[in-house]
Structure 1
Amino acid sequence: MIWRRAACAAVLALWAGGAVAECRQALALGLDVSGSVDQLEYRLQIDGLAAALGAPSVRQALTVMPGTPVDLLVYEWSGPEDPAVILPWTTIADEAILNGVIAHLQTTERRQTTPGTALGLAMRVGVGFLAQRSYCWKRTLDISGDGKSNLGPRPQDVKAELAGTDVTINALVIGADAPSFGDLRQMDVAELSSYFRHNVIVGEDSFVQTALGFEEYAQSMARKLERELETLIFSEDITQPGVPPVAR
């Protein structure tokens, strides 16, 4: 479609190095592509993220303050050798750029990855990406996952390393697809949510969002993004350039 080609061109032009406005929030999204995620679930996840970014409430939250936009990065994680960026840092300056991001995600194909779940390493990688946006007023890492870590550094050790920093880590926990009964799925999600709450999320305002399965990923991601992108009402008495406004 013509609009998709034009939107993608706008994103590519921005990646090539355009003017960068003051950054309201840096948001890095880490997607689980480990062995427990099959091809259908991968498609539900990547297309679900695209749908969530295009949801009216999320779209408005991303574009409501064009003078102080959100910077967005998306990467995939699995085993220790597998983290890969599928959307480099992109400043969501307007709806055309957001449309380009959505189109880019919709055409992203799955790579070959190892089956391990190196969750602690995925946290470190995401925090490393956020370090590239140290000038943003807020820096948030989102980790999506459907299982516990079984390779690499322990998530709880990485969480301890980040204590006292200004980085926030939130999680989107996805229930296993194997249980066919609702009660079993609820128990699976509850146990995994507890694991992520104790070992992964970081920051005073951090939280765990849940999805009973990948079929609920789009709706759950939209709800999480709405919460993370809440628009603050700022005071008008800031006079020093480069200093973040103060929330009332």
Structure 2
Amino acid sequence: MFTTLALFLTISGTPSATPVADVAQVDVALVLAVDMSGSMDLEEAQVQRRGYVEALRHPDFINAVTAGLNGRIAVSYFEWAGSVNETSVINWQLIDDAQDAADLAEHLASRPVFTRRGTSISNAITFASKLISASPYDAMRRVVDISGDGPNNLGPPVDPARNAAVASGIVINGLAILIRPSGGTVSLDRYYADCVIGGPGSFVLPVHQPEDFAVAIRQKLVMEVSRKGSGMRIIPVQMTPPTDCMMGEKLRPGFLDRIYPELEK
């Protein structure tokens, strides 16, 4: 098992991580799953990237990490659109001080920014769940952090993917990007609350302006690491979601034909 995990960590293009043998347990295993779908223009994508880079370097984030029971967390990162961009994956990195966080931020900042077509939150959740299953660290909590600016419209439906992840012990939190929200019957933050996030203490934070990105991402990371509250608005999860979790798929041309092919006859 450890041979396989060691190979997993040596994929080219990732910064070096502290050897697995040095660490038995981390406070959080955190996957950052970042939307780079075509509904975001290049400027928005760059602002979002800078938000993650700045958040990783911020003293509030470092303090939250070092204040934990173990004083260290493990982070993995990838970007997604209609499918997961596997070349964007940064495999598990141990963070237990400011230098570790700065190294990860620098590696992320050096990467090119580009967008792709489609929005498949379900594929992102499934991929993130597999990353967590392959983590070499013994995590007290396992968290997937999903950012997005539209509802699921490609791949499998989102709520079964969410339910499967939550059933395995993963908490899913969300960052709903409402700068230029995609169309839908309800607001995106409500959709995320009802169809995407899940697990004990899960939350979604909305972002309405580009200048809010860095603060929102930082606050979200601090909350995920420390479980402390935030001054930003959090959409509560409802026991019986009223939202149509297929609303994104229904906005795509030919949706009914794909679901009910007999209608074409």
TM-score tier (shorter): 0.7 to 0.9
Residue 100 (structure 1) aligned with residue 96 (structure 2): no
Q: Give the conservation status (yes or no) of the 8 Å contact 2:65–2:71.
A: no
Matching residue of 1:135: 138
Residue 210 (structure 1) aligned with residue 210 (structure 2): no
Describe the SS at the equivalent of 2:206. strand
Describe the SS at the equivalent of 1:23. strand
Q: Deviations over 1:99-132 (max 9, x none)?
A: 1111112212124x53111111111111111112
C-alpha separation between the residues in 2 aligned to 1:13 and 1:159? Answer: 31
Matches within 5 A, 1:1-248: 12-14=15-17, 19-65=22-68, 67-80=70-83, 82-111=85-114, 114-133=116-135, 135-177=138-180, 191-230=187-226
CA RMSD of aligned residues (A): 2.6
Describe the SS at the equivalent of 2:138. coil
Where does the alignment leave 5 or more consecutive residues of structure 2 unmatched?
Answer: 1-13, 229-265
Once the 2 structures are TM-superposed, how far is the Cα of residue 167 of structure 1 from its aligned partner? 0.5
Describe the SS at the equivalent of 2:22. coil
Once the 2 structures are TM-superposed, how far is the Cα of residue 94 of structure 1 from its aligned partner? 2.0
C-alpha separation between the residues in 1 aligned to 2:144 and 2:84? Answer: 20
Once the 2 structures are TM-superposed, how far is the Cα of residue 61 of structure 1 from its aligned partner? 0.8
Amino acid at match of 1:221: I
Runs of 4+ in 1 over 6 A off after TM superposition: 15-18
Once the 2 structures are TM-superposed, how far is the Cα of residue 84 of structure 1 from its aligned partner? 4.2
Q: Give the conservation status (yes or no) of the 8 Å contact 2:31–2:77.
A: yes
Amino acid at match of 1:12: P
Which range is displaced more, 166-175 or 74-83?
A: 74-83
178 and 225 in structure 1: CA distance in 2 versus 1, 3 angstrom threshold = closer
Number of residue equivalences:
213
Matching residue of 1:242: none
25 and 192 in structure 1: CA distance in 2 versus 1, 3 angstrom threshold = same
Matching residue of 2:258: none
Where does the alignment leave 5 or more consecutive residues of structure 1 unmatched?
Answer: 1-10, 180-186, 233-248
Q: Give the conservation status (yes or no) of the 8 Å contact 2:125–2:165.
A: no
TM-score (norm. length: structure 1): 0.77
> Structure 1 vs Structure 2: percent identity of aligned residues?
27
TM-score (norm. length: structure 2): 0.72
Amino acid at match of 2:215: Q
Matching residue of 2:8: none
